[in-house]
Chains A and B, each alone.
Chain A
Amino acid sequence: MVLLVLIHFMISGYMHHIPETRFLRRTLPLSPPGHLEKKTAKMKLLTLNFLTCAVKTCKSSSDSFPLHPKDAELASDDVEVNPELLVNLLPRLDWKALKTTSAELGFPQLPDSPPTIEQLQSDDKLLKDLHSLLMETNLMEGKLVCGVCGHEYAVREGIPNFLLPSHLV
């Protein structure tokens, strides 16, 4: 019972916490080859559509996906819009998870179901929103929180760390 209350507290604790998101544009100047500088790594937001909690027992629950960004610091790249790429990418995405991630980070609300090719080609705003979200947005710092166990995976300098402390392995 105590455990249940604890779990409930951990989940509701972050659910009610609105992530403080800072949106930085173009903060990553390219460095010349030969220098391993800090902050060259970036985590494309799209990565979240493929990641889940690393704790074995969480995987069977649908709440372990997607992970919830917390205290996220984002950075944006300038990438040329490529409608063909989006058309091939959409069928393989978990749209519901993408919609959740997008809303949690304060992006414009996505429609309930993925757009068709025709809709993408005729709706310029939707195309640009999706392009910006999927192709241009990177997570640089913050945490990724599991909706089941509440474990927080740190993202530092664009690299998420999914190694578990030994008691959770």
Chain B
Amino acid sequence: MLPTPSTSHVPYTLVYEPAEDSFLLLDTLSSPTSLTFHTSHFPPSSPTPLVLEIGPGSGVVLAFLTAHANHIFSRPDILTLGIDINSFACASTAKTVSLASQDHPTTSGEFLSAVQGDLTSCLRGRQVDVLVFNPPYVPTEDLPALPERLREKKEGKVTFEEESKLLELSYAGGKDGMETTDRVIDSLGDVLSERGVAYLLLCAGNKPEVVKQRIREMDNAGEGRRWKAETVGTSGRQAGWEKLQIVRIWRE
């Protein structure tokens, strides 16, 4: 098993702490079947793949993908990028990735940066080859907003209310826990490259079968192609609320 990157420097009062969902992503992305898929999708001499994680939080998943690029994509020449709405998560991600890369110099890809932003709004179209998203998936009454003061700068002490808002942003998904995830799904056609693939984490409360069917029926896959959405990793109790799964999404 590939080692999990260290996140001991991350301030967990401000940034989501790696948990079962993060570890399910690590195991799924580094599985032998994922390696086979990546190797045929991104053969070694094809253009360098761009890997994007939305909402990397502590950076544990992005650091894992960067540091172990050669084991996961069968090539070390990948570019990785993180976009998070929380500036503390951006700083944490940059540190986590840089430490993990230093620990694994021979297998590591190239980390571009951690960008503070709203999902994929700052990206040029159709550039992302691998998109990873562990969304705020818990069904909640309301979708939280980022406190205005934290949009601009982070000077001054973060108040207790702001701290709880930042953590709420990392898990609260609104109706069916899908409000943020749905925005990402709707943008996939514009964000992914022709060979692009997305890994999306869902919980049982998100109605994963309905979500997968909705993706398969999207009409922007391009001439003669269709969207595919398949479950490639699961964890948690079989019949329980907490059950998690990773869905792979691509065009074929």
User: B114 contacts the other chain (Cβ, under 8 Å)?
Assistant: yes
Expressed in whole angstroms, the minimum distance between the Cβ of B194 and any Cβ of chain A is: 12
Separation of A166 and B146 alpha carbons in the complex (Å): 11
Nearest A-chain residue to B49, judged by Cβ: A92
Contact (Cβ within 8 A) B124 A162: no
User: A165 contacts the other chain (Cβ, under 8 Å)?
Assistant: yes
Separation of A93 and B46 alpha carbons in the complex (Å): 13
Contact (Cβ within 8 A) A41 B90: yes
Q: CB-CB < 8 A to A34: which residues of B?
A: 8-9
Separation of A33 and B121 alpha carbons in the complex (Å): 33
Separation of A41 and B89 alpha carbons in the complex (Å): 11
User: B239 contacts the other chain (Cβ, under 8 Å)?
Assistant: no
Contact (Cβ within 8 A) A36 B10: yes
Contact (Cβ within 8 A) B94 A163: no
Contact (Cβ within 8 A) B116 A159: yes
Among B79-87, B164-172, B175-183, B222-230, the stretch that binds chain A is B79-87
Contact (Cβ within 8 A) B117 A50: no
Q: CB-CB < 8 A to B117: which residues of A?
A: 54, 161-163
Contact (Cβ within 8 A) A85 B77: yes
The contact of A135 among B47, B110, B115, B122, by CB within 8 Å, is B110
Q: Give A residues with C-beta under 8 Å from B.
A: 30, 33-36, 40-44, 46-47, 49-54, 56, 59, 65, 82, 84-85, 88-89, 91-92, 94, 135, 153, 156-166, 169
- Ordered by A's residue number, 19 sampled pairs between the chains whose C-beta atoms are within 8 Å are A30-B102, A33-B9, A34-B9, A41-B95, A41-B113, A43-B113, A44-B110, A50-B112, A50-B123, A51-B115, A56-B121, A82-B77, A85-B77, A159-B90, A159-B116, A162-B83, A162-B121, A163-B85, A166-B148
Known: A43-B115, A156-B153, A162-B121. 12 other contacts (CB 8 A): A40-B94, A44-B112, A46-B79, A47-B113, A50-B124, A52-B122, A82-B77, A84-B77, A85-B48, A159-B91, A159-B94, A162-B83
Q: Give B residues with C-beta under 8 Å from A.
A: 6, 8-11, 45-48, 50, 77, 79, 81, 83, 85, 87, 90-92, 94-95, 98-99, 102, 110-118, 121-125, 127, 146, 148, 151-153
